[in-house]
Amino acid sequence: MKRTTLVLGACGQIGTELTLNLREKYGKDTVLATDIMEPSLIELKEGPFEILDVSDTNSLREICEKYNVNTVYHLVAMLSAKGEKFPMEAWDLNMRSLLNLLELAKGKVIEKIFWPSSIAVFGPTTPKQNTPQQTVMEPSTVYGISKLAGERWCEYYFNKYNIDVRSIRYPGLISWKSQPGGGTTDYAVEIYYKALEEGKYTSYISKYRTLPMMYIEDAVRATIELTNAPSENLKIRSSYNLAGMSFDPSTIGASIKNILPEFKLNFNPDYREEIAASWPESIDDSAARLDWGWTPKYDLKTMTEVMLKNLRTKLQLS
Ligand code: AKB
């Protein structure tokens, strides 16, 4: 029986684009998409789709066995802002689902795992500029704590049981096909919607708060490139730093204003500002560049052009 790739959280921000991209590359039938809810994007139903709760260990195992799953992309998580509102739920969801998968790999049910970490593993005591791969890590959010613990588990299962697990510390991701939910960096997606729909946006992140960010196409390409890289090249089995661009709300606002001169940006920072203040401003991703050839393609200007063009069509604006 042929092997299948499984995407957990296929209706989410990364899952949607990753599923479509993998299906385009390797064929619709080779990628099983799963999520806890039915997809709103009809294209996700053009290949196999199953409803699955990743914290249900038995159902996860059954799906992996039924579809002869080889590689799993695990894209289910409660993000930083929502995690502060539901700390125990965030911890349970983020940890249990990873451990379930690592155990399935240990039992030889699956062979390879991609699991996303985040810049949230860093904290207020981490150097903010060009944050190194290995540095002080004292995250101050539940999400960050769960991602740091997850990184340690990934490396542990690799060292102890030779589990082929690969991971990236994603920066804030910007996309137009599907929206993020519950993150601190979500403002950088909302701003494009509001610019087109209302001509104005009030940012909950302060004017000059710089954060590492990346366009979704780069993030999906990085995910597939790392997952396909020869195992012997990968020196890091916790999680790779990954950089695209860095900007603050005023700079993304200015790039939108270049195309929509009437756009107005205001600021009203809330609890998410404190989370953002604990994270790096820029990331040193030289290990990813060296080990698996990572290079980003999008900068702020090209991303803003693509975002506004595609959202205009999506929102049926003239
Ligand atoms: C968040 O803001 O929580 C996420 C992340 C940086 O991992 N986008």
**pLDDT tens digits for range 282-300:** 999 999 999 999 999 999 9
183 alpha carbon – ligand 1 mean position (Å) = 5
* pLDDT score, position 92: 96
Mean pLDDT across the stretch 223-247? 98
Q: Catalytic: which of 26, 67, 73, 143?
A: 143
Q: Is 210 helix (H, G, I), strand (E, B) or coil?
A: coil
Domain coordinates of the chain in residue numbers? Answer: 4-171+215-241, 173-213+244-283+298-314
- Residue 244, pLDDT > 70, answer yes
Q: Pairing state of beta strands 112-118 and 164-170?
A: parallel
Same fold: 4-171+215-241 with 173-213+244-283+298-314: no
pTM comes to: 0.97
The CATH number that domain 173-213+244-283+298-314 falls under is 3.90.25
- pLDDT tens digit string along 61-85? 999 999 999 999 999 999 999 999 9
- Cα 122 off chain centre by: 16
- pLDDT tens digit string along 162-178? 999 999 999 999 999 99
Cα–Cα distance, 192 to 317 (Å, whole number): 13
Answer yes or no: is the C-beta of 183 below 6 A from any ligand 1 atom. Answer: yes
Ligand 1: residue of 122, 173, 245 to mutate (most ligand atoms within 8 A of CB) is 173
Atom 4 in ligand 1: which residue has the minimum CA distance? 183
22 alpha carbon – ligand 1 mean position (Å) = 23
Letter string b/e over residues 133-167, b meaning 16 or more CB atoms within 10 A of that residue's CB:
beeebebbbbbbbbbbbbbebbbebbeeeebbbbb
3 alpha carbon – ligand 1 mean position (Å) = 32
Ligand 1: residue of 126, 131, 185 to mutate (most ligand atoms within 8 A of CB) is 185
Domain spanning 4-171+215-241: which superfamily?
A: NAD(P)-binding Rossmann-like Domain (3.40.50.720)
Instruction: Reply yes or no on whether 143 is catalytic.
Output: yes
